[in-house]
RNA sequence: CGGGGCGUAGUUCAGUUGGCUAGAACGCUCGCUUUGGGAGCGAGAGGUCGCUAGUUCGAGUCUAGUCGCCCCGACCA
């Protein structure tokens, strides 16, 4: 009998990842023209992420707005580094009309070519900053602190659901300030918002740091990043925040008259987090039974499954609904009951496990007789029998315990698999180039030269992930060339 | 763009040297029995074998073309 067991991870990580997405009903796993269909359950995770982040953005003084999807080519080209960084992956609109050809086919009307091609936004710096230049003239107009929730398109040659799709959903914050210090503080603050969110809500520990010159955002002065480690030891950039300096201000002529009557360029930041974090969520916590969701972000935190016999269905379902109501009122839970009569209890257990619901409450006649219920936690599958009178407090404690335990396990993985190496041979072995089973983060001195970075990438597939924020300057030798190096960087194979 | 693979039922696939009315499992529909870990039995629906041309008495199967998809690489703030 085909029980749709998930691929075991020894077999193939990529298959396992797709299996989890499919089993949990998050998205269509076959990518259509580089784009992904996110199904309602997957989207509800994104909605929770949006709600939590949006609250933080508002708390830190930002407002939401919306800017157009299409960016004229000339506008995108205004900042030289920026356009270079995105040139290879832009979707371009060149025509505005279709017609019927002589042989009855619908074709693009050659007469309807646009005077100037429009780029589908890969990010919105350029189109937003064109407006900023009009909006800003005095120090009183600053800071501008705007965020937008939207979709962007980057024509990736190779895609993976959630982790890298041609179109994706995200938020992008764009601020303008009167001083470098204020802008840099903003960029760091927003990285902190991302780190707190990912660690506390998604239960994924991250390493926060600076990107190398080579890896930073096209057009930025400094790029700050949070890097997560997935279960196979590969790295995934979970969020970034850029100090843009005055690069865009100069390209878009964003100037203001300061208190001292001097005309100055503004200092800017941009920062983003995308549906990619759902990929990080899946790859961080899931097991061979399917998705495992941290309670703080799970669309459904508790599912109640009544188990009845022929003669006591009404009684059990009524009791289950009472408990549902009681928990909703006492605990403000996202809780659901699954009392359909066309699926067997075993089927339901399995269904909700695949969807990663943190706690399952089983209620049958055995439980009712003892005034108790059976709790099953998704992360360990441990069964706990609880008196109904203690249920409210038990559920609260258990949700916290699951959240903590997921974070701690992920933290343990990050700690034990982040290692320092003594030479380049060990570097190669540790970072894990041979197969997909054993990757690690490697912490090593690097001279910060571009050629070493490129050679290491060529030889090991590992890239510099970041220079951790808490790094101290030291004396050492570059792991690759042996020249003087001041900092230990994190290297890893990434998605 | 380079290398490899695949297009047959809703899904995953089988289909031999070309041969009769194209198959399985899962899923779906209906009925009865079930219900504490993916239920059982019975009945049923569901296919222009990606498309076009060719070879042949005969093509899911062979040939050519064409379209589409997947995997590996190049690309990926």
The pLDDT mean for chain A works out to 92
- Name the nucleotide nearest A369; use CA and C1': B36
Per-residue confidence (pLDDT) for residue A340, from 0 to 100: 93
| Spacing of A351 CA from B31 C1' in Å | 26
Instruction: List domains and CATH numbers for chain A.
Output: 13-285 (3.30.930.10), 302-401 (3.40.50.800), 418-492 (3.30.110.30)
Per-residue confidence (pLDDT) for residue A103, from 0 to 100: 66
What are the strands, taking DSSP E only, across A410-457?
Answer: 418-420, 441-446
- Name the nucleotide nearest A211; use CA and C1': B77
| Spacing of A448 CA from B63 C1' in Å | 59
- Which one has a higher pLDDT value, A301 or A36? A301
**CA quadruple A458, A462, A463, A466: dihedral, nearest 10:** -160
User: Rounded mean pLDDT of A158-184?
Assistant: 94
Share of chain A above pLDDT 70, in %: 97
Per-residue confidence (pLDDT) for residue A114, from 0 to 100: 92
User: Rounded mean pLDDT of A423-444?
Assistant: 79
In this model, does residue A36 exceed pLDDT 60? yes
- Name the nucleotide nearest A218; use CA and C1': B77
Indicate the pTM of the whole model: 0.95
Q: Are A28 and A37 in contact (CB under 8 A)?
A: yes
In this model, does residue A400 exceed pLDDT 50? yes
Per-residue confidence (pLDDT) for residue A138, from 0 to 100: 98
> ω before A470 within 30° of 0 (cis)?
no
- Name the nucleotide nearest A385; use CA and C1': B36
- Name the nucleotide nearest A495; use CA and C1': B76
Per-residue confidence (pLDDT) for residue A434, from 0 to 100: 41
The pLDDT-based confidence of A104 (bands split at 50, 70, 90) is low
User: Rounded mean pLDDT of A316-345?
Assistant: 94
- Distance from C-alpha of A370 to C-alpha of A373, rounded to nearest angstrom: 8
Q: Which of A31-40, A157-166, A244-253 shows the lowest mean pLDDT across its residues?
A: A31-40
| Spacing of A451 CA from B76 C1' in Å | 19
The pLDDT-based confidence of A11 (bands split at 50, 70, 90) is low
Per-residue confidence (pLDDT) for residue A399, from 0 to 100: 98
In this model, does residue A214 exceed pLDDT 70? yes
Residue of A472, A454, A473, A477 whose CA lies nearest to A464: A454
Per-residue confidence (pLDDT) for residue A6, from 0 to 100: 74
What are the strands, taking DSSP E only, across A325-413?
Answer: 335-337, 359-363, 372-377, 383-387
In tens, the pLDDT along A45-60 reads: 999 999 999 999 999 9
| Spacing of A431 CA from B38 C1' in Å | 39
- Distance from C-alpha of A51 to C-alpha of A195, rounded to nearest angstrom: 16
| Spacing of A385 CA from B35 C1' in Å | 21
In this model, does residue A248 exceed pLDDT 60? yes
Per-residue confidence (pLDDT) for residue A105, from 0 to 100: 67
In tens, the pLDDT along A251-291 reads: 999 999 999 999 999 999 999 999 999 999 999 999 989 99
DSSP class of residue A201 equals: I
The pLDDT-based confidence of A408 (bands split at 50, 70, 90) is very high
Per-residue confidence (pLDDT) for residue A5, from 0 to 100: 60
| Spacing of A472 CA from B22 C1' in Å | 71
The pLDDT-based confidence of A2 (bands split at 50, 70, 90) is very low
- Which one has a higher pLDDT value, A4 or A41? A41
Q: Which token pair is A369?
A: 């007789």
Query: Residues A214, A218, A221, A225: is their CA dihedral positive or negative?
Result: negative
Most confident listed range (A134-138, A216-220, A461-465): A134-138
- Which one has a higher pLDDT value, A139 or A7? A139
Strand B nucleotides in reach of protein CB atoms, 7 A cut-off: 1, 25-26, 34-40, 69-77
């Amino acid at each position: 009998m085909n029980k749709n067991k998930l691929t075991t991870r020894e077999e193939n990580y990529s298959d396992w990842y797709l299996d989890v997405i499919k089993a949990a009903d998050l998205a269509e796993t076959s990518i259509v023209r580089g784009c992904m269909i996110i199904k309602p359950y997957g989207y509800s995770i994104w909605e929770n992420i949006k709600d939590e982040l949006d609250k933080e953005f508002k708390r830190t003084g930002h407002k939401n707005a919306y800017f157009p999807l299409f960016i004229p080519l000339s506008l995108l080209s205004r900042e030289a580094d920026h356009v270079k960084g995105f040139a290879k992956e832009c979707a371009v609109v060149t025509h505005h009309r279709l017609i019927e050809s002589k042989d009855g086919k619908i074709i693009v009307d050659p007469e309807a070519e646009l005077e100037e091609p429009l780029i589908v936004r890969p990010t919105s710096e350029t189109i937003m900053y064109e407006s900023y230049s009009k909006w800003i003239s005095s120090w009183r107009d600053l800071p501008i602190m705007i965020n937008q929730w939207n979709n962007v398109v980057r024509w990736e040659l190779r895609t993976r659901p959630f982790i890298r799709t041609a179109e994706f959903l995200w938020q992008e914050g764009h601020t303008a300030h009167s001083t470098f210090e204020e802008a840099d503080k903003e960029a760091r603050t927003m990285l902190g918002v991302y780190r707190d969110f990912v660690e506390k809500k998604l239960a994924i520990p991250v390493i926060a740091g600076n990107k190398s010159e080579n890896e930073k955002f096209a057009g930025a002065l400094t790029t700050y990043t949070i890097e997560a480690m997935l279960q196979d030891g590969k790295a995934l950039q979970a969020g970034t925040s850029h100090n843009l300096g005055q690069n865009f201000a100069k390209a878009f002529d964003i100037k203001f008259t300061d208190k001292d009557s001097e005309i100055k360029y503004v200092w800017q930041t941009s920062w983003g987090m995308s549906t990619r974090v759902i990929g990080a969520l899946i790859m961080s916590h899931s097991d061979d039974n399917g998705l495992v969701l941290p309670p703080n972000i799970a669309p459904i935190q508790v599912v109640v499954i009544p188990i009845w016999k022929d003669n006591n269905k009404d009684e059990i379902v009524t009791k289950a609904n009472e408990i549902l109501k009681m928990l909703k009122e006492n605990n403000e839970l996202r809780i659901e009951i699954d009392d359909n009569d066309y699926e067997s209890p075993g089927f339901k257990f399995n269904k909700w496990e695949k969807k990663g619901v943190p706690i399952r409450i089983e209620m049958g006649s055995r439980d009712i007789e003892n005034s108790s219920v059976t709790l099953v936690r998704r992360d360990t599958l441990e069964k706990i029998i609880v008196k109904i009178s203690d249920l409210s407090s038990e559920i609260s404690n258990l949700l916290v315990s699951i959240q903590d335990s997921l974070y701690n396990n992920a933290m343990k993985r990050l700690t034990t698999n982040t290692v320092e190496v003594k030479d380049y041979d060990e570097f190669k072995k540790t970072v894990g180039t041979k197969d997909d089973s054993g990757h690690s983060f490697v912490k090593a001195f690097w001279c910060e030269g571009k050629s070493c970075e490129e050679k290491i990438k060529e030889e090991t597939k590992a890239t510099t992930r970041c220079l951790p924020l808490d790094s101290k300057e030291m004396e050492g030798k570059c792991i690759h060339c042996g020249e003087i190096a001041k900092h230990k960087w994190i290297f890893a194979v990434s998605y």
